[in-house]
Amino acid sequence: MKSDNIVFFSNVSKKYRIPGFIKHRYITAVDGLSFEVKKGEFVGLLGLNAAGKTTTMKLISGIVKPDSGVVEVFGSLTSVGNVEYKKRIGYLCELPYFYPYLTARKTLEFYYSISSDVTKSDDINSVLSEVGLLERADDKIKGFSKGMMQRLAIACSIIHNPDLLILDEPASGLDPLSINDIRNLLLKLNENGKTIFLSSHSISDVEKICKRVIIMYAGKIIKEMERKDWENSDLEKIFIETVSYELEKHKKHSH
């Protein structure tokens, strides 16, 4: 592995077992995936539903183990026992859940304390302000809208000042104004040196902020592009053409 790789996947596969009465079924979520994310990059993982984006994010965070292949993050293998690399990751999961009777501030304090020995209230306030939740910081989460929960989830993923951000559908549930706020926040974090890897099924999110895009289909990478490849054309058109071609290929294959 080259030293400037933050994330390194080599021929990674992951199947899920679906239990049945007589026979188990297997779903291949990730199928021979190889890619790298280098220090300071801002990469978007684009794909239809069930393409394998969330599984890829879980593989990076170590929640899911590969059946085969190599996953390295910060130069070491991901494993449940290896907690040190996890302190350097901020992970926004697909469906964040919070304890409804805690306030936003208490929740953030808790997440902060998981990865840091010292928790400074200045840091809590500055992150709350960055995600636009400072005024609601001492309200219980049970009264929060979906967008506010998503802002809190983003706050929890950056509170320990991680080097790598893994964001699974960060724009999910946000209104256009909030999306714009979060977009600007992520651009600022990237400018300040954070490596960002986000997934989305929305082209407009990815197009505006990412510098590189990886398109996945059925667990495989079907296209990789840099900003210059889509800046003067239409990423949505490229995406639809690329994915439709794969769909047709799969249809022919299954007949």
Ligand X SMILES: Nc1ncnc2c1ncn2[C@@H]1O[C@H](COP(=O)(O)OP(=O)(O)O)[C@@H](O)[C@H]1O
Of 116, 109, 113, 111, the closest CA to residue 138 belongs to: 109
Select the binding partner of residue 66 from ligand X, Mg ion, none (C-beta < 5 to 8 A, by kind): none
Site size for Mg ion, by CB under 5 A? 3
Name the minimum Å distance from CB 246 to ligand X: 14
Nearer to ligand X by Cβ, of 3 and 49: the residue is 49
Nearer to Mg ion by Cβ, of 56 and 107: the residue is 56
d(CA 129, CA 200): 25
Among 1, 50, 177, 240, binds ligand X (CB under 6 A): 50
Nearer to ligand X by Cβ, of 5 and 55: the residue is 55
Instruction: Spell out where 63-219 has E strands.
Output: 68-73, 76-77, 89-92, 164-168, 195-200, 212-217
Q: Give kind and range of the element (H or E) at residue 9.
A: strand 5-18
Residues 6+ apart with CB under 8 A from 252: none
* Contacts to ligand X from residues 115-174, by CB under 6 A: none
Burial of 111 (0-12, 13-18, 19+ CB in 10 A): buried
HSE (side-chain half, CA atoms, 13 Å) at 186: 32
Select the binding partner of residue 245 from Mg ion, ligand X, none (C-beta < 5 to 8 A, by kind): none
By CB under 5 A, residue 56 contacts Mg ion: no
Phi first, then psi, for residue 43 (nearest 5°) are -115, 140
* Contacts to Mg ion from residues 36-55, by CB under 5 A: 53-54
Name the minimum Å distance from CB 84 to ligand X: 26
Nearer to ligand X by Cβ, of 54 and 107: the residue is 54
d(CA 152, CA 104): 7
Pair type for strands 220-226 and 212-217:
antiparallel
Name the minimum Å distance from CB 199 to ligand X: 7
Nearer to Mg ion by Cβ, of 108 and 174: the residue is 174
Phi first, then psi, for residue 24 (nearest 5°) are -85, 150
Binding mask 134-173 for Mg ion (x = CB under 5 A): ----------------------------------------
- Positions touching Mg ion (CB under 5 A) are 53-54, 94
- Positions touching ligand X (CB under 6 A) are 16, 18, 27, 29, 47, 49-55
